Amino acid sequence: MARFFGKRNKEEKDRDTLKEQGFLKRLRKGLSKTRSTLTGRLDRLFLGKKEITDDLLDELEEILFTSDIGVTTTQRLIDSVREKVARKELKDLNRLKTVLGDHIHSFLEVTPVEHALPAPGEPLVILVIGVNGVGKTTTIGKAAHIFKSEGKKVMLVAADTFRAAANEQLLIWGDRVGAEVIRQDTGADPSAVVFDGITAAISRRFDVVLVDTAGRLHTKTNLMDELQKIHRVSGKKLPGAPHEVWLVLDATTGQNAISQVDIFNKAIGVTGIILTKLDGSAKGGIVVGISQQFGIPIKYIGIGEKVDDLRPFDAQDFVKALFD
């Protein structure tokens, strides 16, 4: 019998390994345009060169900047490389890409933002924010699938009461992944919906509550006021809630994502970033800029439309897919 279970465990591990290899392959494919924008141009820059010159570093700086890594992050990378070259620590052109990869990896290894944790028996409340069109509701459905696969009892709260379609979309995802959805009519007070959702989650001992929110940019001030009210009401009902605030960003927006992080983080405080639509985007370098500039960890990345195409972000896998 022990042998049977041992074999089964090995088979499960082998399946997990194959699954991870498949994901890395898809991640590499999804980052193909980003890789072409960044490492493809680096290869062309280095072709035929034998040493690291000032002109080469100037061209390198331009490549990094136009790869949506961002001005601040590009400057830090270039300054570090120039310093290594000046100290004679970096002479070999072949090592330059490795050095860049190592630095980018260090930028992506961000210390988690401090946040409250639910007390034993209380639900983990996660407020999911972001502008319209980034894939918030879809991301919530996929995140619910992840929690459900871990054996968690999950509730979805439809606090985007501005759009009727948002409620309907969340209901579809709830049915799809087996999560309960708390909602009210279009136009209802979002904070009241959240209050009711947390109340139900506490009494019925749910493990996780994912709150969908509105994201209309044309009323940015009103939106931020609304999010802050949701935040306050959550804390009144359950001290410490929301325990996490996840900001969903569309990778295809490039540098515009930086300004979104800045606005939302100042207004409400963000504990984690979810980057969607990385597949097919040439602007995946924005991951590096966000991590380095704001020190907010990338929680998940989306590389497709399937329910399991939202995956925990791994800095090492990302750098591998980008540089290998």
CB 216 within 8 A of CB 130: no
| Residue 312, beta-bridge partner list | 300
User: Rounded to 5 degrees, what angle do the CA atoms 16, 305, 19 make?
Assistant: 10
Summarize pLDDT for 93-143 with one digit per residue, the tens.
889 989 999 999 999 999 999 999 999 999 999 999 999 889 999 999 999
The residue ranges of every structural domain in the chain are: 124-315
CB 237 within 8 A of CB 191: no
CA distance 257 to 280: 17
Summarize pLDDT for 256-274 with one digit per residue, the tens.
899 999 999 999 999 999 9
CA distance 319 to 317: 6
Indicate whether 1 pLDDT > 50: no
Burial class (CB in 10 A: 0-12, 13-18, 19+), 86: exposed
Burial class (CB in 10 A: 0-12, 13-18, 19+), 248: buried
> What is residue 218's predicted lDDT score, i.e. its pLDDT?
46
Tokens 């979002």 locate to 190
From residue 84, alpha-carbon distances to 52, 61, 77, 122 in Å are: 11, 15, 11, 51
pTM for the model stands at 0.89
CATH code for 124-315?
3.40.50.300
Residue 150 has which token pair?
């871990």
- Return the higher-pLDDT residue of 8 and 224: 224
